[in-house]
Structures are given as structure tokens and as C-alpha cells.
Amino acid sequence: MENYKNKNNISENLDEKIDDKEISNNSQHTDTIQKKERQNFKERDRKSEHYFLEKKNKKELAIGKILLISVIVSILAGGFSGGLVFLYGHRIFSWLPNKFSKINTLDNRNKNVQVNSNEKIVVKEESAIIDVIKKSSPAVVSIVITKDVPRYRNFFYDPFFDDFFSPFYGNKQNDKNKENQTEKQKVGGGSGFIISSDGLIVTNKHVVEDPDADYTVILNNNKEYKASVLARHPYLDVAILKIKGKNFPVLKLGDSDKLEVGQTAIAIGNSLGEFANSASVGIVSGLKRNIVAGSGFGQTEKLNNIIQTDAAINPGNSGGPLLNIAGEVIGINVAMAQGAENVGFALPINSVKKTIQQVTKEGKISIPFLGVRYVVVNDEIQKENGLPNNYGALILRGKRIGDLAVVPGSPADKAGLVENDIILEINGQKVTEKNTLSDIINRYNVGDEITLKVWHKGKEKLVKVKLEARK
């Protein structure tokens, strides 16, 4: 056992010795390999550095070539452009104004951009409003009112004073002779507009209300025409004139039922009776206004469902057109508010169309007539009188003895209507403060048959009535 053991030990020792030798040999080999590897690494590093340097140089060379080409192209392009400008510059700059003048903004007051000969951009406003005024003015007329008036009138005549001072101030008898002499003088003016090429003109009734006066129409080109009054509306402030001629410029009638507050309104007329075709611009400030207009001489007129505008309407503008941005007539200028700024009123054109059609076809105005005097029922009247409804037309007599509730022989009288009856509806339309009996009746024509819903002695009944012409 021991011998075996020893042998084993020897073997182990031998193995150890062999291992040490091998280790020594391995160490030397390893050192050799490491040296070679270090040499290889250095060689690779050297080659890598050379590679990257070469690549960098190539990249810089490529960039340099691109820059050089860019500079050459820029120089050539600049020279080419300069040559073009030198040769064709005058054509280019003469073309630019025409091109830019066609550029419009979307605003109503469009702007055109133009280039002048000094190459400065000039902004010029050329709005739709200007176009409307230019196109419409030839059809807007001035109406001059003339009348025979005494050539001389002594308002301060006193017998004693005249006798005493007659040597100094002339003979009293001569003054009386002068009082009997008359001369035609201008006593007023207004506006109007042409609606047919053969010379039909619309204006306000109060402009041509004097049957003894003469009326002269002056066009935009200063041509004068003697005018005749074809018709005066009985209760609307509208009159139709006629001048002789043909091919007159006309204005197109719009639709006043489609008006909205805030849209553009343009008024044209003979302001103050002196400044023909004066134009003012504003907006539609309100609709369906009810006012009482006065003439300044004690005459008053109730105007219902009219247009309010802040476009300036001055004395002399009466009868002129109120236009929309399309150049269509939406109203007839009729009044202004005293003591207020920019508060004017116009009759809606739709309320006048029927009158125009009648005069065109028949040569006169025919007004449908029912023949009752009434007050419109409201909440207050309903409570005071214990009525069943807060709407309708209550038939009542006036304050004077002759103001009968129902006109004898009228359509209402023939239909059996009496005082204290209430007309509630006409052809299904309720009678209210905003939709009065007169408003509804005026939508129909003479000869039309209408059906009334009437409250009579506590009961409702239907009554048929045939409208007749107002006499």
C-alpha cells in the first residue's frame, strides 16, 4: 500500500514537474503571440486611421465640388435673370398693374392693388357701394315744384304809415297793382326714381300734393321734362308721375320682405332741394316701425310697417330710392326724425308694387274698401270691456256726429255688420295691432270676395263680403 502510495506520489510529482515545464513553455509562447497581436493591432489602427482620413478627404472634396457648382449656377442664373430684366423689364412692370388691379378682397368695399410707373403699390378702394351709386344715379331724378305766386306782397300795410311815407317809398296804388301780378317761382323740391323706360316715376305724395303747382323733373344729365301726376294714393304716401320720352334708365325693384336688420342701405336724392343725386350710406336699423309724420304745417300722417335706416335722409330726399347692395330699390325715402341723428324712414317697396301695377295697367289707383270705422282690440281694451279676445277690429263710431261706425251703402253695410261687432279674422288671418284690418284689406283687389270671422252679440259667425273701390 505504501509502495503504491509512493508511486502515486511520484507520479503526482512528475505530473507537477511536467506541468511547470509546460507552463514555462506556454508562457513564452503567449508572450510571442501577444507581441504579434500588438503588432497586428497597431497595423490595423494605422490602416483604420488611414482609411478614415482618406474617407474624410473624399467627403470634403465632394462638398467642395457641390459648393463650387452652386456658386457657378447662382452666377449663371443671376446673369440670366439680370439679362431678362434688362431686356424685358419694361414689359413686366407694365403688365403688373393690370394683373394686380383684378385682385379684389371679399369685403363689400373691395380693394384693387395696382403698380404705378414708379413701382409703388397704390391701394385704391373700389367698393360695390360706389358701383351701385354710379349705376343707379341716372335713374334718380330731382323734382322741382313751381307755382304762380304774387310778385309783390306788402305784409305790413298801414294806411297812416303808407300815406305819411309814400313820398319816400313809392305810391300805394302802384303797390296794389303789383300785388295783382304773379310770377312763377320755385316753392319746393323733392326726389323720385324712374321705374319704366317710357317715363313712369315713383315719388312721395306729399312732394306733389298741390294740384295747382307745376312739376318739373330733372335727370342726372340735367335734361328737364315737364311731369304730369297720374295718381296720388289715398292713404299711402305714394304718387306716380309721367314724363314724355323713351329709353329712360330704370331702377329694379327688390323684395322688402326679405330685409334684415344690419344689411347695407344706400339713399340717393335731391338733398335740401339743391344738391341733386346726393348719396348717403348706412344700414337697415329697424323694420316694421310705426310712426306719425308731420309736414311742419300742422298736417300729420300715420305710417305703418316702415323701414328705419341710419343712412342720412334730408329734406329734399323725400321720394328718392333706398337701395340695397345689389342696387335694387327696397324702399322709398319718406321721413326723418326731428332732433335725432341718423334716424330716417322709408316705405317698403313691396307696399308700393301693387300701386305701380294698377297705374301701369289701368292708369289709376283702385283701393279696396270695406267701410267700417274701428279700433284694434288689445289686452287693455279687452279688460276694460270684458271682451272674449285680445285681438280683432272693434267697430265703433268716431267722436264727431258724422263719424258713423259703418258707412251706409258700403260692403260692410251690405253684409250686415253693425257697431260693436268685432272682426276677428279675414280669410283666416287674425286682425292684430301688427296686422291691422287696413293692412289685410289692402292686400286684396277691388272685386275680391273675402270671408270675415265676426264676433256678434256673444257669438262667432262667418260673413262673406265683396270688396268695392274707395270713392
Query: What are the tens digits of pLDDT across the range 93-131?
Result: 555 455 444 444 444 444 443 444 444 433 344 588 899
Distance of alpha carbon 409 from alpha carbon 406, whole angstroms: 9
Region for 245 from its dihedrals, namely left if φ exceeds 0, alpha if ψ lies in -120 to 50, beta otherwise: left
Active site residue 318: yes
Over residues 40-96, the pLDDT tens digits come to 555 555 555 555 556 556 666 666 667 677 667 667 766 666 565 555 555 555 554
Catalytic residue among 318, 351, 366, 410: 318
Q: How is residue 431 annotated by DSSP?
A: P
Q: What's the rounded mean pLDDT across residues 275-285? A: 89
Among residues 136, 142, 191, 206, the one annotated as catalytic is 206
What is the reported pLDDT for 191?
Answer: 94
Instruction: State the DSSP H helix or E strand holding residue 405, giving kind and residue range, or none if neither.
Output: none
Average pLDDT, the chain: 77
Domains along the chain?
A: 35-126 (no CATH), 134-362 (2.40.10.120), 368-469 (2.30.42.10)
Q: Which of 142, 191, 233, 237 is catalytic?
A: 237
Concerning whether 29 is annotated as a catalytic residue, the answer is: no
**The whole model's pTM is what?**
0.62
CB 200 within 8 A of CB 360: yes
Question: Active site includes 206?
Answer: yes
Question: Residue 281 to residues 108, 133, 155, 209, 323: CA-CA distances in angstroms?
Answer: 13, 10, 44, 28, 9
Question: What pLDDT does 121 receive?
Answer: 37
Query: Over 90: is that where the pLDDT of 340 sits?
Result: no
* pLDDT score recorded for residue 19: 45
What angle separates helix 159-169 from helix 172-179, to the nearest 10 degrees? 100
Per-residue pLDDT at 153 exceeds 60: no
